[in-house]
Amino acid sequence: MSRLAATDVVAAATQLMRSGQWTAATDLLTATRPDDPAERRTLALALAEVAVDQDFAQQTDHASAALAAVEQVADESIAWDVEMLKLRKDYANALFGSGGDAEELAERAARLIDQAPDDGRRGAVSFYAGVMADNLLDRPDQAFAHYADALRLGEKTGDPLLMSYALRHLGDHAHTAGDLALARQHWERSTEQRQQVGHLLGALAQQTLLAVLLRDEGDIAGSRALATEINRWARQVPIPSLAHQTADLMGR
């Protein structure tokens, strides 16, 4: 029988997840049955991450069971990561109107920043502290500072996905301030970084912002053409929120 290390399986599942193939990623992880307890924890954590990612993209609820399962096998080695996934899931619930105390979420994010075991993880939770400040608490200055921290830590650790998240939202702040040139600079760089790591949802979301920017720059035809292509992708995956947003840009 062929054998693969759990880390290799997780790497393959991560690429499937980033390409919007959440069911295939889940099937791959659940089909892998390691004997080693550490590998079982690794796979359970990856399953929970895939579920959290899918729930955010498609507004489903696969993560509740997956998070409960990983908590049953978790030890100190993955305790921070489990709490981070729970924070992401609870943020999504609050963002999409399924409940959640914004102040409590922000406090949890602050604790995870303090407890982060490395700069990469600190950057990841700094980003989420930023979106909570922006989207749940209406504290744009605080959000900007968190995004700047996330970008700095992403650059320090060489993490293009973390950098892309920070740049997306720094670009949004520039766009809100009316600086379309800086918004374009940030959003184009973010798009390229997401394409670099094969993050389909992320790249489509960024291209949607570029379609918004084209509209705001006065290129209505260009905006509609780009939105049409994004809409085709979004309907096939499917990613309902992007399909709806791009339909609006197409003038439907």
**Cα–Cα distance between 75 and 79 in angstroms, integer?**
6
Domains of the chain: which residue ranges?
Answer: 1-79
What's the pLDDT score for residue 13? 98
pTM over 0.75: yes
Q: Are 239 and 57 in contact (CB under 8 A)?
A: yes
What's the pLDDT score for residue 3? 63
* Cβ count near 71 (within 10 Å): 16
Residues (pLDDT < 50) of the chain are 1-2
What's the pLDDT score for residue 34? 87
What's the pLDDT score for residue 120? 98
Q: Are 204 and 239 in contact (CB under 8 A)?
A: yes
Could you please report the per-residue DSSP string of the chain?
-----HHHHHHHHHHHHHTT-HHHHHHHHHH---SSHHHHHHHHHHHHHHHHHHHHHH----HHHHHHHHHHH--TTTHHHHHHHHHHHHHHHHHTTS---HHHHHHHHHHHHHH-SSHHHHHHHHHHHHHHHHHTS--HHHHHHHHHHHHHHHHHHT-HHHHHHHHHHHHHHHHHTT-HHHHHHHHHHHHHHHHHTT-HHHHHHHHHHHHHHHHHTT-HHHHHHHHHHHHHHHHHTT-HHHHHHHHHHTT-
Q: What is the separation, in whole angstroms, between the first and last Cα of the chain? A: 54
> Tens of pLDDT along 133-182?
999 999 999 999 999 999 999 999 999 999 999 999 999 999 999 999 99
What's the pLDDT score for residue 121? 98
